Amino acid sequence: MTFNKAYVTMSMCVPCRAELYTGMQPVRSGVCWNHSIARTGMKSIVHYLGDLGYRTGIAGKVHADPREVYPFEMVDGVERNCVSETAKYDAERLREFIVKNRTQPFCLVTALVVPHIPWTVGDPSHFKPEELDLPPYLADTKETREEFAKYLAEIEVLDQQVGATLKLLEDEGIADNTIVIFTSEQGAQLPFCKWTNWDMGVHTGFIVRWPGTVKSGVRNDALIQYADVLPTLVDALGEKVEIDFDGSSFLEVLKGDKVTHREFAYFMHNNVPEGPPYPIRSVTDGEYHYIRNLKPEELYIEKHLMARMPLNKYWPSWVFESTNNEKTLDLVTRYMKRPGEELYNTAIDPNELSNLAGDTQMKSIKKQLIYVLDKWMKQQGDPGAEIDSFEELNNARKGNHFKRQKK
């Protein structure tokens, strides 16, 4: 079952992993910035599944601290360094974890590092840069096409590693008794994707295989977020206790008993430490997406994408091309200088190219989304722009998270 409308709350590595593992959104978990740590006392999938008799391991990238919140059993076999120029994968090491105790059920996270930059694995020659159909939010330069081919080559390696993992389950005779979730985290490390609240950043690939329960080969439009995954797993394993997750179980959607789940999905972005502060909050009902840029007077700067030449060769080509290409100049300007409000009809404008925030016909829709966004921020204890600072991040890294308001 493929979910067409699955989302992360924050389109950066550490916050989205924290959300997936804790069932909490960034402000409540304390992971409001990249490279930050969860609040003391927070519990994760390891604790919840451990209480149900499961051993829970992780192979590959971890990027989740502190250890007491995420006490995974460490499993070898998958490259852990997300910026490595290789993508080590050894199914036999995964097999060792699976078979070492056949009397106890397991949960294994295979956190693959592809397609994270640098895009150095796979064979880009499988994809001809000049023939690629680039998404319209990317400037059509030679460098963009070459880098996009490298990105696709890494996705091809990802496909192969996922296939090897599924084959391992088949070989061990447990494929029919194992729930498999594939998800792709936040969007690609390209402009208008990762590190933003646009749909290309917060939208995630999400596929569930559960033989005998989930009908195969189907898609649905149920709105889900990463915070919903852990409650769903706990529910699927028969645990009915009330837990104060930010997410809720979509088990009935998996079983085919319902076709809807969330009414709204919510998003936030704090740009520190990836650049100067640039806080963003947004909400979608699955059709309309309202974005509020809390400091529109500032320039948006993402240092990895815009300054690290060895890793991202396309952005300098955009800047160079903008001197004589109006479309490219528009993209560069749109990425760096944003209005206070944006509103998109993602049903007919999935690339979010037409901002409807000033359209009087959209007034009632915009008003409703503003109301539910404000309500969510208050419920989360999110003060807005003031937490997007290096001081707050450094305090959080020391375990001194800002104090949340009461619900």
- The pLDDT value given to residue 404: 64
Is residue 30 classed as helix, strand or coil in its secondary structure? coil
- The answer to whether residues 118 and 249 belong to one domain is yes
- The pLDDT value given to residue 328: 98
Closest CA to 29 of 4, 51, 8, 7: 8
Tell me if 402 is assigned to some domain: no
> In which domain, by residue range, is 299 found?
267-397
- 403 has a pLDDT exceeding 80: no
Reported confidence tier of residue 242, pLDDT bands at 50, 70, 90: confident
Per-residue pLDDT of 162-179, as tens digits, reads 999 999 999 999 999 999
Tell me if 80 is assigned to some domain: yes
CB 183: neighbour CB atoms within 10 A? 16
Reported confidence tier of residue 84, pLDDT bands at 50, 70, 90: very high
Closest CA to 354 of 372, 339, 370: 339
Q: Is the dihedral of CA 18, 22, 25, 28 positive or negative?
A: negative
- The pLDDT value given to residue 238: 86
Residue 173 zone, left/alpha/beta (φ > 0; ψ -120 to 50; rest): left
Locus of tokens 């925030």: 357
Mean pLDDT of 223-228: 98
Name the domain boundary from 223, 253, 283: 253
Per-residue pLDDT of 304-313, as tens digits, reads 899 866 677 8
How far apart CA 340 and CA 325 sit, in angstroms, is: 26
Tell me if 109 is assigned to some domain: yes
Per-residue pLDDT of 181-206, as tens digits, reads 999 999 999 999 999 999 999 999 99
- The answer to whether residues 224 and 294 belong to one domain is no
> Strands 55-60 and 106-111, how do they pair?
parallel
| Kind plus residue range of the DSSP H or E element containing 116 | none
- The answer to whether residues 64 and 99 belong to one domain is yes
Tell me, what CATH number does 45's domain have? 3.40.720.10
- The answer to whether residues 224 and 321 belong to one domain is no
How far apart CA 319 and CA 312 sit, in angstroms, is: 13
- The pLDDT value given to residue 308: 66
**393 close to 273: Cβ distance less than 8 angstroms:** yes
- 392 has a pLDDT exceeding 50: yes
Rg (CA), the chain: 21
Reported confidence tier of residue 406, pLDDT bands at 50, 70, 90: very low
- The answer to whether residues 143 and 278 belong to one domain is no
Tell me if 163 is assigned to some domain: yes
Tell me if 82 is assigned to some domain: yes
- 35 has a pLDDT exceeding 50: yes
How far apart CA 286 and CA 366 sit, in angstroms, is: 14
Per-residue pLDDT of 277-317, as tens digits, reads 999 999 999 999 999 999 999 999 999 899 866 677 899 99
- The answer to whether residues 102 and 150 belong to one domain is yes
- The answer to whether residues 237 and 125 belong to one domain is yes
- The answer to whether residues 169 and 50 belong to one domain is yes
How far apart CA 61 and CA 237 sit, in angstroms, is: 26
- 407 has a pLDDT exceeding 60: no
Tell me if 181 is assigned to some domain: yes
Average pLDDT, the chain: 95
Per-residue pLDDT of 364-380, as tens digits, reads 999 999 999 999 999 99
- The answer to whether residues 204 and 291 belong to one domain is no
Reported confidence tier of residue 241, pLDDT bands at 50, 70, 90: low
- The answer to whether residues 240 and 290 belong to one domain is no
Tell me if 406 is assigned to some domain: no
- The answer to whether residues 184 and 241 belong to one domain is yes
| 390, two tokens | 């290096």
- The answer to whether residues 223 and 322 belong to one domain is no
Number of independent structural domains in the chain: 2
Tell me if 164 is assigned to some domain: yes
| Kind plus residue range of the DSSP H or E element containing 161 | helix 142-171
How far apart CA 298 and CA 45 sit, in angstroms, is: 38
Name the domain boundary from 208, 226, 253: 253
- The pLDDT value given to residue 253: 98
Residue 35 zone, left/alpha/beta (φ > 0; ψ -120 to 50; rest): left
- 57 has a pLDDT exceeding 50: yes
Name the domain boundary from 219, 253, 287: 253
